[in-house]
Amino acid sequence: MVLIDYKEAPEGLQVVPLWISGSAQTITSPSTLFPVTSSIKDTAIHHAVSCDPPTATLAVDAAATAFKTWRLTAPTHRRSLLLKAADILERRAEQIMAAQVAETSCPRPFAQFNVESGVTYIREIAAATSELRGTVPQRATGPDGKELGGLTVVVREPIGVVLVIPPWNGAVVLPVRAISMALAAGCTIVIKASELCPQTHHLIVSCFEEAGIPAGVLNIIQVRREDAAPVVEAIVSHKAIRKVDFIGSAAVGSKIGQVCAKYLKPILMELGGKGPALVLEDADLAKAASLCAIGATLDHGQLCFSTERIIVHKSVYDEFIPHLTAAMSQIPSAGNSVTKQSAVHAYEVLADAQEKGAKFLVGGLEHLSPTSLKPTLVANISPDARIRDEETFGPSASVYVVQSDEEAITLANDSAYGLNAAVHSKSWEHAYTVGSQLEYGQVHINAMTPTASPGGPMRGVKGSGWGQSNSIWGIHEFSVEKSLYFHPSAGSVAMIPGGH
């Protein structure tokens, strides 16, 4: 049961509790509650308990206690539990999809994609536990060239208690991925759920616990946005916390990164993007146009992988633009923003572009509803326009024309971000030559920028973060290599000059 009844809750709505060591924490006062609001209905759909620093510390304490035994479990055991969790998530898909739609106002097909992808990610990460292995390095040699005695064994161990801060926009697939990677490595977790979709995140945790993950291994809290900073710092500063996994905006990531640096805690970050799609002179123009339009508008453009910039070779520009405008015009609505403020931001970025000389090829400064903007294409972008390198998080993309591949590469790389990019070409050699020069963690050939592969590494570069997710790469992020040196019981001992 995720939602609980609380007689003093405003409007008689149910409440998302704080979940620590396998049980809901007692609600002490209505003042600890905050509303979770549907942007479409413009009304509270339930409330959630806002955590304070002392309670956050209790969550870390619970995870630290559970780590003592969870870290000793075999990878095969953890794999079995992860596979059970995937089955449960799949079985409870309707319930979890309904929660995501209600809390984030995303389209139902996007919620379905989130659950189905989440199941796939859990199963891939579970399979990758078989790759958790150590090594036996070659032994050192002495001055005479002969091997020294003894044995060195390098083993992988879980890093410890992890703080996971997932976003609201991939409300199922992204927390599921983060939780699965840390659990597979043998870590225990404190999750700071998004204040915009706490029920969805709690439902995910309940799937793992139903699968048999012991109490205390997964703990989940949430906090109202204005109170989040001291709660996050209380968790990061706790001596048991050994790593943080954050997915969100670059602005918030910078703040959390500074807190982690203050306490010397490593952090895995996947931040924003300004994804370019490069349409080369030998591209399939109709296909590229369709993929660009869809990539720009999925979930109202509220994806860090969104197609934000469409860079077109001059030789095909005049032929490509009718395909692109037609494809964009065939998308009457891109859904809704998660909050009214998010829609306002997307609108203001477009307004700024227009004030600085931009022209709308499709759409424009038009609301379909208070939380939905018309899908929009913008051209003639000024170098000082906000849209040049600021995420719109709305259903829009800017269009640029270039004279050569070299200019396309330069423009694509002229960004603070480096998450996902796409290259459209009928020649894989041509696409590879261009794609290999792009400063992005993922480059997709003849596909949308919002594309990912559960079996391959996923990372951001530059201002899009650092560290890798997915499969064994993600599991390794939450484990450390330890060297065990078995020195010979007799004979000479090699001394290292300058050693301690």
Q: What are the C-alpha distances in Å from 2 to residues 15, 206, 219?
A: 8, 8, 13
- HEC per residue, 253-268: HHHHHHHHHHCCCCEE
Closest CA to 66 of 180, 212, 218, 179: 218
CA–CA gap between residue 3 and residue 486 (Å, rounded): 53
Q: Which CATH class is domain 275-458?
A: alpha beta
Percent of the chain with pLDDT over 70: 98
Query: How much is the pLDDT for 28?
Result: 81
Which residue numbers are catalytic?
Answer: 270, 304
* Residue 470 confidence (pLDDT) above 90: yes
User: Residue 185: in which H helix or E strand, if any?
Assistant: helix 173-185
- Return the bridge partners of 484, or none: 153
287-293: average pLDDT: 98
Whole-number average pLDDT of the chain: 95
30 vs 449: which has the higher pLDDT: 449
* Residue 6 confidence (pLDDT) above 90: no
Range with the poorest average pLDDT among 84-98, 125-139, 262-276: 125-139
* Residue 287 confidence (pLDDT) above 80: yes
With contact defined as beta carbons under 8 Å apart, do 132 and 113 qualify?
Answer: no
* Residue 82 confidence (pLDDT) above 90: yes
Maximum Cα–Cα distance across the chain? 83
CATH 3.40.50.10540 assigned to 10-271+466-480: no
Q: 142: pLDDT confidence band, cut at 50, 70 and 90?
A: confident
Residues 6+ apart with CB under 8 A from 406: none
Range with the poorest average pLDDT among 90-94, 149-153, 266-270, 455-459: 149-153
With contact defined as beta carbons under 8 Å apart, do 469 and 459 qualify?
Answer: yes
* Residue 217 confidence (pLDDT) above 60: yes
- Return the bridge partners of 5, or none: none
The conformational region for residue 216 under phi > 0 = left, psi -120 to 50 = alpha, else beta, is: left
> Start-end ranges of CATH 3.40.605.10 in the chain?
10-271+466-480
Q: What are the C-alpha distances in Å from 491 to residues 139, 259, 483, 494?
A: 15, 49, 22, 10
* Residue 482 confidence (pLDDT) above 90: yes
162-187: average pLDDT: 97
pLDDT tens digits along 354-395? 999 999 999 999 999 999 999 999 999 999 999 999 999 999
> Start-end ranges of CATH 3.40.309.10 in the chain?
275-458
* Residue 499 confidence (pLDDT) above 80: no
